[in-house]
Amino acid sequence: MVGISHMDVVMLALGQNPRTVALATSYLNVVLWGLFPAVGFAMLRGAVAGLSQARPIVIIVVAATF
């Protein structure tokens, strides 16, 4: 997560346009907020799959689509 929050320095060092870096940084800041829930869901999915209980994951996926 620290790497994503400091990608602007890397992009500028690689010679990207500062306007492009500003747009990409605002996008990456939004993505950063979704990273923790995505990792949590992946851990939950793995644990539930290991227990052979697919119903909770199906319910979460179906509820998230509406």
For residue 1, pLDDT beyond 70: no
Structural domain range at position 42: 2-65
What gap in Å lies between CA 47 and CA 62, rounded to an integer?
Answer: 19
Confidence grade of residue 56 (pLDDT, cut at 50, 70, 90): confident
pTM of the predicted model over 0.85? no
Q: In sequence order, which residues have a C-beta less than 8 Å from that of residue 18 and are 6 or more positions away?
A: 12
Between 18 and 5, residue with greater pLDDT: 18
Tally of domains in the chain: 1
With H, G, I as helix, E, B as strand and everything else as coil, classify residue 42. Answer: helix
Joined together, the tokens standing for residue 8 give 């602007």
More confident residue, 33 or 19: 19
Average pLDDT, the chain: 87
Q: Where are the alpha helices (DSSP H) in the chain?
A: 2-5, 7-13, 18-50, 55-65
